[in-house]
Amino acid sequence: MFVSVRFYWIFILSTIPAVLSENVAFIIIDVQNCFLPGGSLAVTNGEEVIPIINTLRSKYENKFRLVVLSQDWHCSNHISFASQHNETSAYNSITLTYDDNGNICDPCQTVAYNVSQMLWPDHCVINSTSAEFDDTLTRKDSDVIIRKGFNCDVDSYSAFFDNGKFSQTGLHKILQDADISTVFVTGLALDYCVYYTSSDAKRLGYTTYLVKDGSRGVANSTSVDALTDMASNGINIIQSDGVGAILESITSAAVSSCSFVLTIPLVIPMLASWIISGI
């Protein structure tokens, strides 16, 4: 009897951290040398996101169940590089064609997919210094690293899917396995990889917060368009100084839920003991 009671309480107490722990992931997109000053595809003022991201981590590390860093990770002859295409140049857009298996047409008998592709300077080549994360970006062994764009024939702005939606990166399953329901997205660049990642997160059912001052765009006009589109699709556009209050509200909801959940296992045994003792 003593043993069973002891295990009962151990079980009850062990459920408390799980119920109280917020189902939140912090996603940091592509804070790599190639997108920072001196990089081949430097985002203007991109370095300004680093202290903001580091501060969010240091203040709220225990609130984030997962911290995810995405990493653009391209073959040296990647199809998104302007250097791989004749008679065009960087920042021009072309249309790529794929068959029904998601293979690039070279050519193919039947074109199944047309995918618009912006051409970029060579950047973030696999195992190069350019592809490394910035040295000053806070990192931990527990961080989840999601590499994207390593298929030479298709680009991947989103940390969830390639641009043709032919394959997943694995991030969705990782978030599902960790029971994540809310994501905060930061990083580079606002109008491409941050935008596509946030949009996919929302579409996949996650409550999604885009931390605007924790991100910078390639161009002002496309950044404005991206922010407008995200807001219209239910993505919450916030500033970093608003993250604390949002996490607090999530914690409060979890505490309320915990109180309700614990009512049954705590009250029923108490009532039973009263009845047995004749009170």
Q: How far is the CB of 196 from Zn ion (least distance, A)?
A: 11
- Cα 246 to chain centroid distance, Å, stands at 17
Number of chain positions touching Zn ion (CB under 5 A): 1
Look up 202 and say whether it is catalytic: no
| Cβ neighbourhood burial of 56 (10 Å; 0-12, 13-18, 19+) | buried
Please pick, among 30, 153, 162, 200, the residue that the annotation labels catalytic: 30
Q: How far is the CB of 123 from Zn ion (least distance, A)?
A: 6
Give the pairing of strands 113-118 and 93-98: antiparallel
Q: Is 154 helix (H, G, I), strand (E, B) or coil?
A: coil
**200 is an interface residue for Zn ion by CB under 5 A:** no
Nearer to Zn ion by Cβ, of 117 and 181: the residue is: 117
Residue 1 CB coordination number (10 Å) = 5
| Cβ neighbourhood burial of 41 (10 Å; 0-12, 13-18, 19+) | buried
**30 is an interface residue for Zn ion by CB under 5 A:** no
**122 is an interface residue for Zn ion by CB under 5 A:** no
Please name which of 174, 156, 160 lies closest in space to residue 25, comparing C-alpha atoms: 174
Please pick, among 34, 193, 202, 212, the residue that the annotation labels catalytic: 193
Nearer to Zn ion by Cβ, of 24 and 68: the residue is: 68
**191 is an interface residue for Zn ion by CB under 5 A:** no
Please pick, among 63, 148, 202, 212, the residue that the annotation labels catalytic: 148
Q: How far is the CB of 155 from Zn ion (least distance, A)?
A: 6
Question: Radius of gyration (Cα) for the chain, nearest Å?
Answer: 23
Look up 30 and say whether it is catalytic: yes
Nearest residue to Zn ion on Cβ basis: 72
| Stretch in the footprint of Zn ion (CB under 5 A) among 5-13, 45-53, 65-73, 228-236 | 65-73
Task: For residue 141, give Cα distances in angstroms to 11, 40, 47, 93.
Answer: 30, 28, 23, 38
The one-letter amino acid code at 277 reads S
The tokens of 134 are what? 């910035």
Q: How far is the CB of 149 from Zn ion (least distance, A)?
A: 5
Q: Which of 22, 72, 134, 162 binds Zn ion (CB under 5 A)?
A: 72
- In the complex, the residues that contact Zn ion under the rule CB under 5 A are 72
Residues carrying an active site annotation? 30, 148, 193
